[in-house]
Each structure stands twice: as structure tokens, then as C-alpha cells.
Structure 1
Amino acid sequence: MTLSISVALLHDQARNDPEGHDRHRRAFARLSRALRAENIRWEEPDTTALAVAHTFSGGIPYGYLTCLRRVFVLVGRGGPVSPAPRPDTEAWHRDLAAIDDETSLLASHLLCHADDAGYYIPVDFPDPLFLPPEAEVAGAGMVGSSQRLLAELSSMAPWLGTPASAESPGDDPVAPERSAWHQLRQACRASILGGHAIVFHRVGASFRRC
């Protein structure tokens, strides 16, 4: 499975997917109502006349997101940080346990978010939101801040040594982390510039772990 990441999703769907446009427009309305209950006022902007810098569309294997979360946790704990170990090894499971431990603190916008659904909104609030089930907000009601996600990504940049482009050599041991980092960073910048939500949604594809 592949995680699709979109900013200004309604803009694209208004032209290419009327049925999807209506479905997501209703979902955004539910999100806005639930946010108002948390004293946060935000609505997905109108979809017309958008600058290219205010839109983003990309996708990564779910495993890449896990690899990026691993780096965030290890950097936050003071390292050392190395390329991700092979799956199903003791080191890999130890790192997954560290991710779970940090996620349980309910403080990180990168960690406290569903892998395959949900939103980041361009409002700066300190901790991730956990909206109630009755709000029927995608991603189990977990909503992050685009500004805080961008700050968390910036904290990892020195270790990743991120190049100007998301393209990495085929033998780059941290290519999964770089790819996820670049796509999320571009999405955050578009979200903040245009006032649109970052939307995580699912696209069928073969699953690839980093």
C-alpha cells in the first residue's frame, strides 16, 4: 500500500473527480465542526485560482513513514542514528518499540497520526488533537499542525543531510527517509502558504518496507 499526500485536494477533484470532491468536501465540513468544538476555527479554502506553490500531490510507501519516524525518535533521544536495520531483526523491533514509547507521550505531530488517513491543518497548536469518535474525522480523529510538523522535520534535517532535491542515488542508505522527509516538507510549505489541509489518504499498491 502507498500513502498518498495531498494539499488542496478539492482543487484537483473539482476538475477530475466530482464524486470524490463531494465526499471530501463533506469530510472537511465534519473536520471544521469538530475543530470548532476545540476552539480552533479553520475551514478548507475555496478551490479556485490556486497558485502552484499552494498545491502538492505525492506518495510514499507506508514503510518510508515508519523509517522517518524512527529517525525523529532517535534524534530526539540524542542518537546515535544509523540507517534503518533490516526488518524482523532485533534492532528493528527495538526501534519500533522506541517509536511506540515516544508516541505514547502524545506530543509529536509526526508520530501521533494515522498512517493512511487524516489531516494536518495550517494552524499552530502545541500538541496533536485527538477528536472524539462521534466527530467521524478520518484517521481516528488524530489531527496535526502543519507548522509543528514542519518544525519536527527541521529537527531531523542535520542528520539526513537532505539534498536540494528529493532524488537520491539508488545506493543511498537513507533514501526512504529522505523521500518521506522531502514530500512531507513540501506538503507543509504548501499547506501553510495556501491555508489548505495536508490530507493523508490511501492508494492501492504493493507494500514496501524501508
Structure 2
Amino acid sequence: MIDFPFAVVAFDLDGTLADTAPDLTAALNHALGRMGRPPIPAEDVRHMVGHGARALLQKGLSATGEVSEALIEEGFPILLDYYYAHIADHTRPFDGLEAALDTLAARGVKLAICTNKLEGLSRELVDALGWQDRFVALVGGDTLPVRKPDPAPLLEAIARAGGGRAAFVGDSITDTDTARAAGIPCVAVTFGFSDRPVDQLGADRLIDHFDELVPALLALG
């Protein structure tokens, strides 16, 4: 029996479940360096994340000079190859996450991931972090023909987790727009990769630490 107001809680990945910025920064700067571009500071890269690796490279090229489809095609495999090889060198779960996931699981909640990160990369990262048994569903940026903020990936992740009343946890306007389009409540973390002040995201609840997640979800329920 589910002792919780939500049967499924879905999460964004980068900037929500884990601080992936160090490894994403290293991969982006590796690709840029191979293309004769200067590196981008990690703090700037944090605000470029959220639309997938290809978009990250596009933003990185744009920030350092000319950008074109040909340049993106040139740099994309360089970035991917490096990132696959170093996907969790410095990536860590955010503080308090594991305890919050344990509490949700103990309440009978099914956990899912809905991310714009490529599905293969997402599964690689989940495995590297030892989360293979934590999440019953994962929908990536290339799992369906569309990606967030289209609601279809989130609805698919919820369905794959067994369906029922659901909530979404994210860190960006993409996530809050996705939840709104899907018609489900959204909790936004304040410590993620948002490109704007978090109070402008339109989330139903904001949390500063994962200790606050379960109370926030109970309040929404």
C-alpha cells in the first residue's frame, strides 16, 4: 500500500539529482580545445545545461566564436566520447538525496527519471552512481521523438513507472514548463542549473535541500 499522496515521483537528472557540472564542463572544454576554442568556466557551463549535450556544445561554440551545424557535427562526437569515458569522475549526488529517495521508496513511491540527456548517457551515469535499482523508469532526450518541455517524455516516464498520481522534481524553466504542460505539480530545487532566478520558474514548491523534499510533496498532496 502506498502511504503517500503520489504514486510516482519523477526527477530531472542534471542539476536535480546530481551535480554533473564538473564532468560536463570537462567534456565541453575538451571538445572546444580540440576545435581551437578557449575553455568556458564551470559556473558559466552550469547555466548552459538542460537541453542535452548537442545544445550544450552549440552554446559553448556560440560563447567562444562562430557556431554552425558543421561545427556542431564536428565537435559532438568528441564531446560524447570524452564524456562517456569520464561521466562520473567528479559528479556527485546532491546532499540529502539518497535519504530522500530511501524515504520515498519506503512509502511505496515509484521513482522515475525524465531528462533531456541522451538515454544512453543517462543510463551510463545512473549505473556509475549505483542507482540501477532506485529508478524503475528512465526517459531520455532521445527516447521519444520529442523532448522536454513537451510533456510526452514526462508522461511516458510516469506511465513506465506504473502510472497514477505523480509529481515532478526539477531545476529549470524547462522542467516547470514540462510539468505544467503535463498537468502535474512540480517541485524545483534552488541549487541546480537554472538560467534564471528560481523564484521565476513558476514551481509549486521550492526546496533548498533534499531534506525538504518529502515535506514539500506531502504539502502538495
By relative contact order (CA 8 Å, sep 6+), the higher-ranking structure is 1
| Same-fold call, TM cutoff 0.5 | no
After TM superposition, the score normalised by the length of structure 2 is 0.26
